[in-house]
Amino acid sequence: MQVNTEALESLQSEALTGTFYRYIRTRYADKPLSTNGAFVNGGRYNVAGSFAALYLGFNLETCEAEVSQGILAGVPLKRGAFTVWEYEASLSFVVRLDDPAIQAQIGVTDKDITISGNHWTASQIGE
Amino acid sequence: MPKTVPKTPVKKTTKSSLSPKTKRPKTLSMQTMQKSDSFGKTVCYLRELFGFTKKDFADVLNVNEKTIRRWEMGLTEVMPHTSHKKAIMTLQTVAESLSDLFEPDMIKVWVDRPNPALQGERPRDYARKPGGIFIMANLLGAVGR
């Protein structure tokens, strides 16, 4: 899916304040704000080595789904594999890519940006 | 049947870099691997961790099955190429991630389960594709980091 990058420039943003969550591999749990792993390995919205990103979830279910349904393929996890961190955050410029109107402006669908193992569309938006 | 004698002397080290007391495999630098026979031990450790046969692992590393057997015996008649060392180091990072996330028996389950992030292929099969292990290392490395 080719993203309409011109439309990206003029998307409406909003402020967002609230509680967010992150599942961190316990080995790295002492660095809850580190973006090094995302920078080195890449993620849904960032290509490895391009820029860093901090991935947070609105709720624990989202975090759990994100870690268990992708590359881990739903295989039962080791006890204590992850440590959960909770964040109080106040964000100034948030583009709601879950908003169908915003998706329509840039020419993407829910499926394009949530599909497992194919980050092509999401990484174009991130870049 | 006469015992096979290596054509070239095999350099033995007194201390393995994979001590039994070590919980996780240490990441070996290329230099370390070149200087000791720990490369073969690492090959054997990783192959068994993933449940690969020697033939499977030969396909992953793009070498002959005999070469895997020789490396595991500590014979270095066929010296590992830089690309083989890179592949082994990448598999070590995969192993490190999997050890963080799963119990050892579940690692084998993961290796054999069709994976949505790998176009529905099993990691065992995906590892044989060009660049497959590097993609797996990145995807696993990004989990929970």
Is some CB atom of chain A closer than 8 A to the CB atom of B64?
no
B35 token code pair: 């200087």
> If you count DSSP H runs as helices and E runs as strands, how many of each does chain A have, helices first?
6, 2
CB contact under 8 A, B100 and A25: yes
Give the global pTM.
0.75
Q: Write the pLDDT tens digit of every residue in B5-19.
A: 444 444 433 333 333
Number of domains in chain A: 1
B48 token code pair: 């068994």
Cβ-based contacts of A82 with chain B (< 8 Å): 144
Cβ-based contacts of A67 with chain B (< 8 Å): 143-144
Compute how many other C-beta atoms are within 10 angstroms of the C-beta atom of residue A114: 16
The residue range of the domain holding A24 is 5-126
Is some CB atom of chain B closer than 8 A to the CB atom of A116?
yes
Cβ-based contacts of B139 with chain A (< 8 Å): 41, 70-71, 117
The pLDDT of residue A41 is 86
Confidence category of residue A5, pLDDT binned at 50, 70, 90: confident
Q: Write the pLDDT tens digit of every residue in A49-59.
A: 999 999 999 99
CA of residue A65 relative to chain centroid, distance: 12
Share of chain A above pLDDT 70, in %: 100
Confidence category of residue A68, pLDDT binned at 50, 70, 90: confident
Q: How far is A10 from chain B (nearest CA, A)?
A: 30
Residue among A52, A32, A55 at smallest CA distance from A42? A52
CB contact under 8 A, A73 and B102: no
The pLDDT of residue B37 is 65
Rounded Cα–Cα distance for residues B140 and B50 (Å): 15
Confidence category of residue A67, pLDDT binned at 50, 70, 90: confident
Share of chain B above pLDDT 70, in %: 73
Whether the complex's predicted ipTM is more than 0.90 is answered with no
CB contact under 8 A, A71 and B103: no
Flag whether pLDDT at A48 surpasses 60.
yes
CB contact under 8 A, A36 and B119: no
- For residues A46 and A53, the answer to whether their CB atoms sit within 8 Å is yes
CB contact under 8 A, A25 and B142: no
